[in-house]
Structure 1
Amino acid sequence: MAMLEVNHLAIQFGGLRAVDGFNVSIEKGQLYGLIGPNGAGKTTIFNLLTGVYKPTEGIIKLDGQDITGKSTIEINKAGIARTFQNIRLFKEMTVLDNVKVGLHNHHPYSTLTGILRFPKYHKVEKEMNEKAMEILKVFDLDKEAQTLAGNLPYGKQRKLEIARALATDPKLLLLDEPAAGMNPNETQELMDTIRFVQKHFDMTTLLIEHDMKLVGGICEELTVLNFGQVLAQGETSKVLKDPAVITAYLGE
């Protein structure tokens, strides 16, 4: 069974069909790429998968569960986490507390417990601190645990955003242009990080990216969008050599 199964997905804004008949099947443990020119509908698909938009048509299944039209919170709890092209960390909070935000779905306590500091509060906080530190060590960010997130270098902020997403214990991780704004050294480090996450967390990942070196280096399969429709789909090396893809996107 596929981890993500999307059939005939579509959304219409007024008279514009921003996504039209989108299909994709992503297997558990796969690292899958979604590419296309600006305005092709990539981020719209991420917004459909995460409940920001409700589809006009189509079915979205995560690990066999129909999540079509569910709320963002329901979809996150079902197992989809995402990062954003523009980093959305809590920059005035510490690195540790940013990761703990992602852990609250799985380590809950009531507002009253938090206010009055009942024993459960201290127990849960201790568990979250330990788990957050474990995740930060994976990303080599444990030494910056008490640093304000906004004071981290850009590349480390990207890594922290992925760490926070993983703290929600997702089945599917959506990465929205994670290499945006990075220099070549940072991009290479990011590629190594994503590979490690795939293996260490047994993760399934869907990636939007414009950096073709990164896409070609880590994605097993690709879907290329153009004007909201699938232009090409399949093994990465073959898709990147497709004449239609070269004409529409790579421009070579």
Structure 2
Amino acid sequence: MALLDVTNLSISFGGLRAVDDFNMTIEKGELYGLIGPNGAGKTTVFNLLTGVYKPNEGKIKLDGEDITRKNTIEINHAGIARTFQNIRLFKQMSVIDNVKVGLSERFKYSTLEGILHVGRYKKVEKQIDDEAMRLLKVFDLDGERDTLASNLPYGKQRKLEIVRAMATDPKLLLLDEPAAGMNPNETKELMETIALVRKEFEMTILLIEHDMKLVSGICEKLTVLNFGKVLCQGETKEVLSNPEVIKAYLGE
């Protein structure tokens, strides 16, 4: 059974068909790319997968569960986490506190216990601290645990956003143009971070990206969108050599 199975997904805005009859299947453990020219509908697909938008038609199944009509919180609990093209960290919070935000739904105590610091409060807070540090060590960010997120270099901010997403213990990680704004060295480090996520967590990843060097270097399969429709799907090498895909990118 596929981890993600999307069938006949469609959505319109003001009469414009932004995504039209979209189909995609991702197996557990795959690193899958969703590419296409600007305005092709890629981010709209991400917003549909995460409950930001509700489709006019179609179905989304995650690990066999129908999540089509669930809201963003329910979908996150079901097992989808995402990052954004524009980094959305809590910039005036420390590195470790950003990760603890991601852990907050997994380790809980009551409001009263939190106010009075009684009951499960101390035990749960220690669990959160320990897990946050474990994740930071995996990603070599433990040395910056008390650094404000805003003071991290750009590449490490990207990495921290991935760590925070992983703190929710997802089944599927959506990365929305993670290489945007990066220099070549930062992009290389990003590729290493994505490889680390797959190795340490056996994570299934769906990636939107315009950097074709990155895409060809790490993605096993691709779906190409153009004007909201699937133009091509398949193995990365075959898709990137498809004349229709080349034409869509070159605008010929």
> Would you say 1:226 and 2:226 are equivalent positions?
yes
- Cα deviation, 1:203-248, whole Å, max 9, x if unaligned, reads 0000000000100000000000000000000000000000000010
- Structure 2 counterparts to residues 37-186 of structure 1, below 5 A: 37-186=37-186
The equivalent residue for 1:13 is 13
- Give me the whole-angstrom Cα distance separating, in 1, the residues matched to 2:147 and 2:125: 19
Deviation at 1:250, TM superposition (A): 4.6
Q: Partner letter of residue 219 of structure 1?
A: C
Q: TM-score, normalised by structure 2?
A: 0.99
Pairwise CA distance, 1:120: 1.0
Aligned to 1:216: 216
Deviations 1:144-180 (A, max 9, x none): 0011111100000000000000000000000000000
Could you tell me the TM-score, scaled by structure 1's length? 0.99
- Distance (Å, rounded) in 2 between the aligned partners of 1:161 and 1:62: 22
Superposition deviation, residue 119 in structure 1: 3.5
Which whole-Å deviations, capped at 9, do the CAs of 1:6-46 have from their partners, x for residues lacking one?
00000011211100000000000000000001100000000
Mapped to 2, the partners of 1:117 and 1:42 lie a distance apart of 45
1:187 is matched with 187
1:240 counterpart residue number: 240
Task: Name stretches of at least 5 consecutive residues in structure 2 with no aligned partner.
Answer: none
Classify 1:188/1:251 alpha carbon distance in 2 versus 1 (closer, same or farther; 3 Å): farther
Q: Which residue of the partner structure matches residue 196 of structure 1?
A: 196
Deviations 1:188-208 (A, max 9, x none): 110011011111101000000
Q: Separation in 2 of the partners of 1:37 and 1:154?
A: 25
For structure 1, the 5+ residue unaligned runs are none
| Separation (CA, whole Å) in 2 of partners of 1:113 and 1:11 | 44
Instruction: List structure 1 runs of 4+ shifted beyond 2 angstroms.
Output: none
Q: Kindly tell me the number of residue pairs found equivalent between the two proteins.
A: 252
One-letter amino acid of the counterpart of residue 246, structure 1: I
How has the CA–CA distance of structure 1 residues 78 and 69 changed in structure 2, closer, same or farther, with 3 Å as cutoff?
same
2 CA distance for matches of 1:186 and 1:250? 26
RMSD, aligned CA: 0.9
Q: Percent identity?
A: 75
Moved more, 88-97 or 117-126: 117-126
Q: Tell me the CA shift for residue 251 of structure 1.
A: 5.4
Q: Distance in 1 between matches of 2:200 and 2:69?
A: 31
Cα offset, 1:249, TM superposition: 1.3
Q: How far, CA to CA, are the matches of 2:232 and 2:88 in structure 1?
A: 31
2:250 and 2:181 map into 1 onto residues whose CA distance is: 19
- Mapped partners of 2:171, 2:248: distance in 1: 32
Provide the C-alpha distance between the structure 1 equivalents of 2:85 and 2:21, rounded to a whole number of angstroms.
25
CA distance in structure 2 between the aligned counterparts of 1:250 and 1:71, rounded to whole angstroms: 37
Letter in 2 for 1:110: S
Report the Cα offset of residue 105 of structure 1. Answer: 1.3
Q: Distance in 2 between matches of 1:110 and 1:48?
A: 32
